[in-house]
Amino acid sequence: MGKAVHYTIEPPDNFQDLVDLYEALGWNSLHLSKDELQQMCSESLIPYYQSLEYKKFTTGMMM
């Protein structure tokens, strides 16, 4: 059986993990710090987070 992707609106415990992921994938073109990314997510209308077997790996938002 495949691994399930889980979706939540609860923010991750450590936003640095998201910054590290964004850096590794080249997604941080705005050069956001951990605090800036966290603020951007908290100010989004509907932020959501995805995880694979309880390891948060990406985020999305509706503005």
Instruction: Give this prediction's pTM.
Output: 0.68
Q: Please report which helix (H) or strand (E) contains residue 16, including its range.
A: helix 15-25
- Dump pLDDT digits (tens) for 16-61: 888 888 888 898 899 999 999 889 888 888 887 877 665 656 666 6
The two tokens of residue 36 are 């800036």
User: Residue 25 has what pLDDT?
Assistant: 83
Q: Which two tokens stand for residue 42?
A: 């908290």
Q: Which amino acid is at 23?
A: E
The CA distance from 47 to 34, in Å, is: 16
Cα–Cα distance measured from residue 8 to residue 28, given in angstroms and rounded to the nearest whole number: 22
Return the domain boundaries, the chain. Answer: 5-62
